[in-house]
């Protein structure tokens, strides 16, 4: 990377690099074997359509679905919008309910999609989470009403990495005849997912969180029992009418390959990431006092660490380690100076929320990078606490 | 598989766009992140936005990146006004975005009937948007968009122009077109699939379709498709430089092709030939042979064309565009679309003309069923 030869990237929950295997798979589809996958009457189109079919199989396999249950989208934000608004609008139109249940710690696009449905006549219950970031299944049971359409709970939180009890929530929703949507943008390819075992009806997938490029995602839409949606983008009727528009063949191929690569290496990669995280946390705790971890450590995706340093300003900390890419809060809201609403939902004070950073480890992170990053953070925290930060006064 | 004459369905990515995308794909970073990885990526998005804005003759702030043309059309029409009016020859993504819209008729060449438009808009009350495409995807027919825009604005309505097929083939300066909203798609002119834009004039705020983070000035949420945007930018830059050569080169090639086809089958019809068309597009009717049979025959000979638009190519319904132009079902079913690209060679056209003429001859000797397969 120009201008940043020594920079260390530990922000893998914001976005991941494209895996070289994924890049190799997608590049020929730009110019060499291009085609519109919907032009199946000629050879170019058929070749593109076959590549799309293969990718659809790969994505389906990773989550235990059938290929025809996968709807390609431009990313997880679109998938979440389509799942929540599409299912709610279908229910509103057919008089099949008007209530949505979700969590206070959901991704912004889930909360905003729910809020948009309130404007169209739906009611939304936003449930709190525990101090560990986990949903209380009993609270969800109690929130479900006769007119509940959908429960939307993220599989893995984007800021604190906690894994929600998906199978329990899914079982409960199925018993009550309520759709269960899981935002799995941070979970796909990171933890084992099985839409049948977990009784998930709608599941959102992001490409760029799983070593595929930005601009591609998917929504799993269950066929039996069928989850019904109204499309947000209509037109040519692609993706079985649920999402119109020419499919971006190179990106679809990339997501398929990324799903396959992630599925093959899931267990091994998880162990590596857990070891890197343990190494980082040990380095920080050995050198610093007042280090606290946000969210459950036991039920957490291995690549995520969200850690606070008592008395420290995390924005200043980040500015003091310009060679290191970490974040406060999610990327979408990182320009905001407000403390993270996710950390606030865990019950953190403004000061503690404002003293916390997210450190995201990835497939290509090395032990040396972790050691160097830990050293930078330790030094910056120590300097700030000693009043030595050049920026502490700002 | 050697002659690709379906450029209105999709085009190969330009080498320079592919190279820029390969670089972008090698860079890690979320443009919303404040660290240097994020900032570097953000800069490439900003540069591409400038290029797309220049193509449209607007400022960068007017460009809203979307996942493609269909999303841009949906975004333009679903949340901008109480009522919508669309021409009868619009793309499916316009027609289906506003299924309750009033339809504006076209004449036999597929050109919007301006007298009818005035009547339809007379006494309009409340907010309204009128959507007319710059160039038709099936026939290539160009609409008198600036004149239409004047009528629309005089009636107090907003004007949306779907310029998806026109961009890269002729100028798409939004002010010259008189449009308030304009849709673009990268993969129709040498950019990648999966990226497009809605260009929105100052002061307009279409209701977002996709909500979440504050990307695209809160008009379209979701992490930006950075490599796609970069490829779009390069293609936009290139097309601005090359648009004149493109028309000059392809008009000659296309017109010569049409002359030879008509010589081989004098009863063949070039739909929309009476008016100005895109330089690369030809919609050819061969009476007595269904479009599907023609496409299959050509495919077997290694030539890719389409019957109607790519999105509806699985269907066997007659083209809504040709029906709106007053063609009967038989005529609307027996047309193919041939669309040339900047890289199309004269020898490829020769081969296509040969295969097509042979097909027409076999029709005359009864080798083809006179009835359409549909």
- Strand B181-185 to strand B158-162: parallel, antiparallel, or no bridges (unpaired)? parallel
pLDDT of residue A394: 43
What's the rounded mean pLDDT across residues A381-391?
81
The fraction of chain B above a pLDDT of 70, given in percent, is 95
Question: What CA–CA distance (Å, rounded) separates A187 from B39?
Answer: 26
State the CATH number of the domain containing residue A89.
3.40.640.10
| Same domain, residue pair A134 and A29 | yes
The pLDDT-based confidence of A389 (bands split at 50, 70, 90) is low
Residues 127-186 of B with CB under 8 A from A: 185
Q: What is the ipTM of this complex?
A: 0.93
**Average pLDDT of the residues in B120-124:** 93
CATH topology of domain B3-9+243-364: 3.90.1150
Tell me if chain A has a CB within 8 Å of the CB of B341.
no
Please tell me which residue in B61, B154, B311, B367 is annotated as part of the active site: B311
The answer to whether the CB of A363 falls within 8 A of the CB of A209 is: no
pLDDT at A169 over 50: yes
Counting the structural domains of chain A, the total is: 2
CB contact under 8 Å between A251 and B223, yes or no, is no
Nearest CA in chain B to A9: B37
Contact A42 B225 (CB under 8 A): no
pLDDT digits (tens, 9 = 90+) for B167-205: 999 999 999 999 999 999 999 999 999 999 999 999 999
CA distance A43 to chain B (A): 6
Same domain, A209 and A234: yes
Say what the pLDDT of residue A392 is.
45
Can you give the pLDDT at residue B312?
A: 52
Q: Domain B15-239 - what CATH class?
A: alpha beta
A300 and A233 in a common domain: no
- When the pLDDT of each residue in chain A is averaged and rounded to a whole number, the result is 94
Asked whether the domain spanning B15-239 has the same topology as the one spanning B3-9+243-364, the reply is: no
* pLDDT confidence tier of residue B287, bands split at 50, 70 and 90: very high
CATH number at residue A284: 3.90.1150.10
- The strand ranges marked E within chain A are 8-9, 70-73, 99-103, 123-127, 148-152, 179-183, 202-206, 217-221, 291-293, 304-309, 324-325, 356-360
Q: Tokens representing B135? A: 């160039």
Contact A3 B36 (CB under 8 A): yes
Q: Quick one: tokens of A61?
A: 């396999």
H or E stretch at A114: helix A108-119
Residues A140 and A159 in one domain: yes
Rounded average pLDDT over A308-315 = 96
pLDDT value for A22: 98
Q: Kindly state whether residues A78 and A219 are assigned to the same domain.
A: yes
First to last CA, chain B: 26
A394 is a domain residue: no
> What was the pLDDT predicted at A4?
45
**Active-site residue, from A109, A114, A173, A332:** A332
Mean of the per-residue pLDDT values for chain B? Answer: 93
Pairwise CB contact (< 8 Å): A327 & B34: yes
Tell me the average pLDDT across B222-226: 97
- Nearest chain B alpha carbon to A13: B30
Structural domain boundaries, residue A320: 8-16+266-385
Last residue of a domain, one of A245, A261, A277: A261
Residue B344, classed as helix, strand or coil, is coil
Write out chain A residues lying below 8 Å of B40, CB-based. 1-4
pLDDT of residue B148 exceeding 80, the answer is: yes
- Chain B from 37 to 56: CB within 8 A of any A CB: 37-38, 40
Confidence of residue B241 (pLDDT cuts 50, 70, 90): confident
pLDDT at B365 over 90: no
Cβ proximity of B70 and A235 under 8 Å = yes
Supply the Cα-derived Rg of chain B in whole angstroms.
21
The verdict on a CB contact (< 8 Å) between A40 and B314 is: yes
Confidence (pLDDT) at A322: 95
Under an 8 A CB cutoff, do A325 and B193 touch? no
Helix or strand or coil: residue B87? strand
- 8 Å CB contact of A30 and B214: no
Q: Indicate if B283 belongs to the active site.
A: no
Co-location of A67 and A12 in the same domain: no
Confidence of residue A93 (pLDDT cuts 50, 70, 90): very high
Residues A205 and A277 in one domain: no
Rounded to whole angstroms, how far apart are CA atoms B151 and B120? 11
Q: Under an 8 A CB cutoff, do B18 and A38 touch? A: no
pLDDT at A334: 54
* Gap between the Cα atoms of A319 and A389, Å rounded: 10
Closest residue, chain A, to B90 (C-alpha) = A235
Regarding whether A132 and A43 lie in a shared domain, the answer is yes
Checking if the pLDDT of A331 tops 90, the result is no
Which pLDDT belongs to residue B248?
86
User: In 3D, which of B192, B48, B207 has the Cα closest to residue A215?
Assistant: B192
Q: Which helix or strand (DSSP H or E) is residue A91 part of? A: helix A76-93
For B225, name the nearest residue in chain A, comparing CA atoms only: A215
Size of interface A-B (CB pairs under 8 A): 282
Q: Which residues contact B255 (CB under 8 A, 6 or more apart)?
A: none
A239 and A275 in a single domain? The answer is no
* Residue in chain A nearest B33 by alpha carbon: A331
Upper half-sphere CA count for residue B220 (Cβ side, 13 Å): 26
| Burial tier of B347 (Cβ tally within 10 Å: 0-12, 13-18, 19+) | exposed
Nearest to B12 among A34, A112, A213 (CB): A34
Last residue of a domain, one of A261, A280, A301: A261
- Shared domain check, A291 and A219: no
Whether A233 and A352 share a structural domain: no
Answer yes or no: do B192 and A318 touch at CB < 8 A: no
The verdict on residue A164 lying in a domain is yes
Flag whether residue B123 sits within 8 Å of chain A, measured between CB atoms: no
Evaluate whether residue A282 is within a structural domain: yes
* Domain membership flag for residue A3: no
Residue A2 domain-assigned (yes or no) = no
Residue where the block lists tokens 């049948």: A196
Q: Do residue A202 and residue A289 come from a single domain?
A: no
Which tens digit of pLDDT belongs to each residue from A270-309? Answer: 999 999 999 999 999 999 999 999 999 999 999 999 999 9
pLDDT of residue B366: 72
Categorize the per-residue pLDDT at A162 as very low, low, confident or very high, splitting at 50, 70 and 90.
very high
Which of B28, B194, B298 is closest, CB to CB, to A216?
B194
3-class DSSP state for residue B23? helix
Q: Which of A261, A286, A319 lies at the terminal end of a domain, its last residue?
A: A261
Q: Residues 74 to 93 of B: which have CB under 8 A from any A CB? A: 74, 91-93
Domain ranges of chain B: 3-9+243-364, 15-239
Instruction: Output phi, psi for B154, to 5 deg.
Output: -60, -30
Would you state the pLDDT for residue A336? 58
CA neighbor of A246 nearest in space, from B70, B162, B34, B35: B70
Give how far A232 is from chain B: nearest CA, Å.
Answer: 7
Rounded Cα gap, residues B17 and A343, in angstroms? 42
């Amino acid at each position: 990377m120009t201008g940043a030869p020594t920079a260390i990237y530990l922000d893998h929950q914001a976005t991941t690099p494209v895996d070289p295997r994924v890049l190799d798979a997608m590049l020929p589809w730009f110019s060499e074997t291009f085609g519109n996958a919907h032009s199946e009457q000629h050879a170019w189109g058929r070749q593109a359509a076959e590549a799309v079919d293969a990718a659809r199989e790969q994505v389906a396999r990773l989550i235990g679905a059938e290929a025809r249950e996968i709807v390609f989208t431009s990313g997880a934000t679109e998938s979440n919008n389509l799942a929540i608004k599409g299912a709610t609008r279908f229910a509103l139109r057919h008089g099949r309910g008007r209530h949505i249940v979700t969590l206070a710690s959901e991704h912004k696009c889930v909360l905003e999609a729910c809020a948009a449905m309130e404007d169209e006549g739906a009611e939304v219950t936003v449930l709190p989470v525990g101090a560990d970031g986990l949903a209380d299944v009993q609270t969800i049971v109690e929130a479900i009403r006769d007119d509940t359409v959908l429960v939307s709970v993220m599989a893995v939180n984007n800021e604190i990495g906690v894994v929600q009890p998906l199978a329990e929530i899914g079982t409960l929703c199925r018993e009550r005849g309520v759709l269960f949507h899981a935002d799995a943008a941070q979970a796909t390819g990171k933890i084992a997912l099985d839409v049948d075992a977990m009784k998930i009806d709608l599941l959102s997938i992001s490409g760029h969180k799983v070593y595929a490029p930005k601009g591609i995602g998917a929504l799993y839409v269950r066929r039996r029992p069928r989850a019904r949606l109204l499309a947000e983008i209509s037109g040519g009727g692609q993706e079985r009418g649920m999402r119109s528009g020419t499919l971006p063949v190179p990106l679809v191929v990339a997501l398929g390959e990324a799903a396959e690569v992630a599925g093959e290496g899931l267990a091994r990669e998880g162990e590596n990431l857990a070891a890197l995280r343990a190494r980082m946390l040990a380095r920080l705790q050995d050198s610093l006092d007042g280090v606290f971890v946000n969210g459950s450590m036991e039920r957490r995706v291995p690549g995520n660490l969200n850690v606070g340093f008592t008395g420290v300003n995390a924005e200043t900390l980040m500015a003091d380690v310009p060679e290191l890419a970490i974040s406060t809060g999610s990327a979408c809201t990182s320009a905001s100076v407000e403390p993270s609403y996710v950390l606030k939902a865990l019950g953190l004070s403004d000061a503690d929320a404002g003293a916390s950073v997210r450190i995201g480890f990835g497939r290509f992170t090395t032990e040396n990078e972790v050691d160097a990053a830990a050293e930078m953070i330790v030094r910056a925290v120590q300097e700030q606490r000693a009043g030595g930060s050049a920026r502490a006064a700002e | 598989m050697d002659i690709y004459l379906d450029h209105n369905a999709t085009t190969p990515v330009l080498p320079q766009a592919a190279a820029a995308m390969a670089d972008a794909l090698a860079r890690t970073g979320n443009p919303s992140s404040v660290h240097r990885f994020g900032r570097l990526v953000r800069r490439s998005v900003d540069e591409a936005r400038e290029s797309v804005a220049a193509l449209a003759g607007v400022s960068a702030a007017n460009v809203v990146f979307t996942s493609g043309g269909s999303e841009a059309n949906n975004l333009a029409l679903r949340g901008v006004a109480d009522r919508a009016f669309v021409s009868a020859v619009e793309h499916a993504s316009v027609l289906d975005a506003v299924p309750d819209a009033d339809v504006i008729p076209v004449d036999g060449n597929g050109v919007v009937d301006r007298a009818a438009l005035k009547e339809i808009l007379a006494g309009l009350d409340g907010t309204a948007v009128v959507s007319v495409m710059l160039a038709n995807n099936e026939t290539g027919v160009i609409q008198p968009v600036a004149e239409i825009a004047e009528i629309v604005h005089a009636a107090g309505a907003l004007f949306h122009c779907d310029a998806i097929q026109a961009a890269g083939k002729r100028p798409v300066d939004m002010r010259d077109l008189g449009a308030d909203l304009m849709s673009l798609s990268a993969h129709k002119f040498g950019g990648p699939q999966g990226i497009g834009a809605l260009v929105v004039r100052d002061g307009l705020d279409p209701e977002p379709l996709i909500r979440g983070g504050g990307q695209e000035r809160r008009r379209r949420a979701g992490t930006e498709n950075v490599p796609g945007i970069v490829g779009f930018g390069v293609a936009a830059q290139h097309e601005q430089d090359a648009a004149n050569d493109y028309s000059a080169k392809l008009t000659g090639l296309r017109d010569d092709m049409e002359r030879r086809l008509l010589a081989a089958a004098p009863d063949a019809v070039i739909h929309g030939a009476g008016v100005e068309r895109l330089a690369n597009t030809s919609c050819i009717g061969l009476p007595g042979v269904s479009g599907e049979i023609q496409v299959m025959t050509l495919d077997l000979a290694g030539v890719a064309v389409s019957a109607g638009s790519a999105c509806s190519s699985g269907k066997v319904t007659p083209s809504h565009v040709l029906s709106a132009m007053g063609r009967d079902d038989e005529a609307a079913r027996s047309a193919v679309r041939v669309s040339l690209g900047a890289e199309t060679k004269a020898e490829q056209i020769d081969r296509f003309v040969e295969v097509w003429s042979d097909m027409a001859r076999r029709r005359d000797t009864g080798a083809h069923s006179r009835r359409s397969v549909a």
